[in-house]
């Protein structure tokens, strides 16, 4: 892909420290002000038990579809900057965090570089990513499997998720 203007990307959002809902709402607003990024839609919020890592509070998770006029590496840098602005400290793998933003999909791009893999390598295993994403982009085809997000969700045990609040999409 040589032209990165006006591509759709999907990101996941998560938080389990502080006022997670306020943090995620503010992070989405901040993302919408980033150069080359427009938030198109956002899923409901989902409460999720943590997986792996130390004992910690439940997460609040969501996904968003964004329109981007920046390349994936610039998007990653933007997301990492926003995480830092909201106090993200990377000290414990799978540990608690104020904010976690991940690129899940970027158009139909398949990328494997030292700092970024798209599609996200563990997205198909994670109900807290696929269920919210299926809510806003059920027909998006994941390029590695060739399956839609709704098809991938059907393969998961989603009992770990509890929908917290259904809010209107952005």
Domain ranges of the chain: 7-165
Longest CA–CA span in the chain (Å) reads: 44
Comparing 56-70, 76-90, 91-105, the range with the smallest average pLDDT is 91-105
Considering 93, 97, 126, 139, which one is annotated as catalytic? 97
Band (90; pLDDT cuts 50, 70, 90): low
pLDDT tens-digit series, residues 24-52: 999 999 999 999 999 999 999 998 887 76
Please say if 21 is a catalytic residue. Answer: no
Q: What is the DSSP letter of 58?
A: P
Considering 21, 102, 157, 166, which one is annotated as catalytic? 102
More confident site: 23 or 161: 23
Please say if 88 is a catalytic residue. Answer: yes
Considering 42, 58, 88, 139, which one is annotated as catalytic? 88
pLDDT attached to residue 6: 87
Please say if 3 is a catalytic residue. Answer: no
| Structure-token pair, residue 145 | 């499997």
| Structure-token pair, residue 87 | 């106090």
Residue with tokens 């806003």: 136
Number of H helices, E strands in the chain: 4, 10
On the question of pLDDT at 3 being above 50, the answer is: no
Selection from 39, 37, 38, 57 nearest residue 47 by Cα: 57
pLDDT attached to residue 1: 33
Band (97; pLDDT cuts 50, 70, 90): confident
- List, in sequence order, every residue forming a beta bridge with 11; answer none if it has no partner: 64, 103
Please say if 126 is a catalytic residue. Answer: no
Q: What is the CATH number of domain 7-165?
A: 3.30.70.560
| 131 preceded by a cis bond (ω within 30 of 0) | no
């Amino acid at each position: 892909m040589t032209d990165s203007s006006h591509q759709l990307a999907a990101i996941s959002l998560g938080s389990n420290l502080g006022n997670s809902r306020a943090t995620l709402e503010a992070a989405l607003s901040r993302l919408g002000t980033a150069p080359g990024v427009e938030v198109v839609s956002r899923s409901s919020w989902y409460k999720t038990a943590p997986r792996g890592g130390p004992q910690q509070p439940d997460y609040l998770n969501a996904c968003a579809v964004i329109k981007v006029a920046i390349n994936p590496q610039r998007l990653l840098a933007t997301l990492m900057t926003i995480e830092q602005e909201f106090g993200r400290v990377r000290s414990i793998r799978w540990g608690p965090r104020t904010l976690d933003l991940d690129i899940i999909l970027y158009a139909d791009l398949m990328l494997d570089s030292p700092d970024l893999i798209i599609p996200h390598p563990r997205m198909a295993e994670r109900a807290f990513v696929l269920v919210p994403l299926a809510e806003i982009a059920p027909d998006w085809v994941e390029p590695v499997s060739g399956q839609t997000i709704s098809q991938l969700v059907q393969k998961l045990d989603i009992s770990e998720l509890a929908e917290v609040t259904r809010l209107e999409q952005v």
